[in-house]
Amino acid sequence: MKVLYQSYIICIINSKGRGLLIIHVNKQEVGANLRRLRKKNKLKADDVARQLNLKNFESIYHYEQGQTDPPGSTLIKMMHIYHCRDINELSVPREEDNE
């Protein structure tokens, strides 16, 4: 029997090893927002994979579909690639994106 977790916790740690932010997020929402942000920035999955030094662009699709959890360091890099101002953009769509 395979158990699929539908959510996970993201914890941002500062350089002194202290947790700065802990949020509980839904994997499918994060995946959908990763896809939305990639398309908003007019990037292809292979463009993002290249910037993340991933060998296979399919990893990006797996992250976007909630099939695979991106490592925290990868999420941070993706936030920079997608010009996210704050981690909430991964779990909550911004109003100007809904126009």
CB 90 within 8 A of CB 25: yes
Greater confidence (35 vs 5) lies with 35
Q: What is the mean pLDDT of the chain?
A: 76
Full-prediction pTM beyond 0.85?
Answer: no
Task: Give the bridge partners for 8, in sequence order.
Answer: 25
pLDDT score at 16: 64
Phi-psi region of 17 (alpha: psi -120 to 50; beta: other; left: phi over 0): left
All domains of the chain, ordered by start, with CATH?
26-93 (1.10.260.40)
> Which 3 state secondary structure label does DSSP give 22?
strand
Burial per residue of 57-86, b for 16 or more beta-carbon CB atoms within 10 angstroms, e otherwise: eebbbebbebeebbeeebbebbbebbebee
- pLDDT tens, 58-92? 999 999 998 888 887 888 889 899 998 877 777 76
Residue range 11-26: mean pLDDT, rounded = 58
Q: DSSP H helical segments within the chain, as ranges?
A: 27-40, 45-51, 58-64, 72-81
